[in-house]
Structures are given as C-alpha cells and as structure tokens.
Amino acid sequence: MEGYEPGTYGDRLADVYDGWYSDVTDAEATVERVTALAGDPPGPVLELGAGSGRLALPLAARGLEVWALDASAAMVERLRAKPGAAAVHAVVGNMAELDLGSGAPERFAVVLCAYNTLFNLTDTDAQRRCLAGVADVLAPEGRLVVEAFVPPPGGEGEAAVSAVEPRHIGLDEVVLTVSRIDPGARTVTGQHVQIREDGIRLRPFVLHYAGPDQIDALAAEAGLVLVERHAGWRGQPYSLSSDVHVSSYARA
Ligand SMILES: C[S@@+](CC[C@H](N)C(=O)[O-])C[C@H]1O[C@@H](n2cnc3c(N)ncnc32)[C@H](O)[C@@H]1O
C-alpha cells in the first residue's frame, strides 16, 4: 500500500482503538504471565507496539518497570493521557530499528510482542531486524514473548482472496472491513471503512504474517531459541489445530 509507513496503522486508528480492541485478548492472563517471567525482584519489561497501553498500563500497575514502544505518535499520546501513564516509559519509535534513547535499561527481563504486533512489520526483513534488536537488549535469562495468530497451512501459489465484511452495523455508523489476503506473499492489506452521516474515515492496515515455524526460524537467525509454546496466556496446550500461539524465546 503506497504511502503506508510504520506509524500509519496507529495514527489512523488511535481514536477508536480502545473502543474497538479493548478485549481482543486475555489481558489479565497476559499481565500475570509477563509478571511471572519478569522475575523476583522483577527486571524491566519492554512492550513492542504497545499502542494506547492496553497491556503496558496494567503491567506498570503491578509495579514493573515498563517501557512501551510504538511507531504511532497518536497512540503514544493516548497512552500518556491515561491514569497511571506516569509509571510507563512511553517512546515513539520503530520496533524494526530498536532504539529507546538514553535512560533506557541496557537489558530487559521480558520483551513482549502481543496481539499479532510482529505482523505489523510489513516484510520479513523488518521482522528479522526487529528480532535482532530484541536479542541485543534481552537479559541473559530474559524472554521474548510473541503472541500471534496461526495462519492456515499452504499459501504458496494460492490466489489472492478479496473480501468486504461488515465489522459494525449501527444506527448512525457502518464499518466495512475491505481486505485482500495474498497467501503467496503472506500479506493482508485492508481498510476499515467507517461510514457515518458526517463523512467517511479510512483506517488502513497491512500485515505480513508468519507461521510459528517461520517465526522460530527468524528468531534462530537472531540467536533466540524457542523455550515454550502454548495456545494462550493461561498455558493452554498448543496443537496443530490452535489458532493462536504464545511463544517464549530465550538467548541460545
Ligand atoms: C495490533 S496493535 C497492538 C497494540 C497493543 N500491543 C495491544 O495489544 O493492544 C499494534 C501496534 O503496533 C504499532 N506498530 C505498528 N508498526 C510498528 C512499528 N514498526 N514499530 C512500533 N510500533 C508499531 C501500532 O501503532 C499499534 O499501536
């Protein structure tokens, strides 16, 4: 999508993000698990693509030192405006070129990349650079935790599929999600088209997805090995029919 930049997704979605995505994943269990992984006494936690703080804020409320990186200034602004935000170190930046600026810890006990956020990096090379950056800042006993959907098998040589689906139908608003999935390129390109009496808002998204094995391979290139994989944050067993995985990586 021409003109689509790292901050585009968040900048165009920040005003509705909390309303649309507040309960998309099990935030309570995420906070429990990340808190446990941070150790005792806890080491610092870095969330990549932290958005408006759905996870970063409750993590900080648990007493953890939380760094929240997001490419979207609008998302970071939302985070900073919320109660408890003073306890979060919120930074605008690209997770593919990890740089938290001066004052950041050299090493993190946990690096969290939740809710498909790794796929917001729109090509494999950006995902590779991101994981290399994570490996550089992970403490010797630290964990990178990735939460992502499991794409359907196949892909190579399959034709792209386009769809228009109603996301929300209300009295004064319709949101249509227009998308094109290209299984060969492993991309989903789309727009949430929000139609209201006073106008239309376009909320674009581009995802470059990868299967668990492909993420493992990228992690391995960065010197990270898979420690455990579950089908959710509560330790649900992962199987070939799981549609989500929560995978933890450590330095090799
Ligand atoms: C799916 S949202 C997830 C937000 C939050 N982690 C949550 O679970 O609610 C993805 C976030 O990643 C951010 N993002 C996208 N590309 C990024 C990049 N290259 N670097 C840093 N953040 C990015 C977006 O602005 C957005 O806030």
Q: Which of 142, 137, 139 is nearest to 69 (CA)?
A: 137
Which of 130-134's residues contact partners 24+ apart within 8 Å by CB, and which partners?
A: 130/48, 130/95, 130/96, 130/98, 131/218, 131/219, 131/221, 131/222, 131/224, 132/221, 132/222, 133/95, 133/96, 133/97, 133/98, 134/48, 134/98, 134/222, 134/224
Asked if pLDDT for residue 53 goes beyond 90, the answer is: yes
CA 92 – ligand 1 centroid, Å: 11
**Residue 155 — very low, low, confident or very high, per pLDDT cuts 50/70/90?**
confident
Query: Per-residue pLDDT for 156 more than 90?
Result: no
Buried b (16+ CB within 10 A) or exposed e, 76-113: bebbeeeeebebbbbbbbbbbebebeeebbeebbbbbb
Six-digit token string for 55: 């996870």
Is pLDDT above 90 for 157?
no
Residues near ligand 1 (Cβ within 6 A) = 6, 9-10, 21, 49-51, 54-55, 69-72, 75, 94-96, 114-117, 120-121
| d(CA 213, ligand 1 centre) in Å | 22
Mean pLDDT of the region 53-81: 98
Q: Give 91-141 pLDDT, tens digit per residue.
A: 999 999 999 999 999 999 999 999 999 999 999 999 999 999 999 999 999
> From the CA of 129, how far away is ligand 1's center (Å)?
16
What pLDDT was estimated at residue 161?
96
Burial-class residue 23 by CB neighbours within 10 Å (0-12, 13-18, 19+).
Answer: exposed
Look at the pTM and tell me if it is higher than 0.85.
yes
Ligand 1, atom 1: nearest CA belongs to which residue? 117
* Protein residue with its CA nearest to atom 27 in ligand 1: 51
pLDDT at 33 > cutoff 90: yes
- Cβ atoms of 107 and 38 within 8 Å: the answer is no
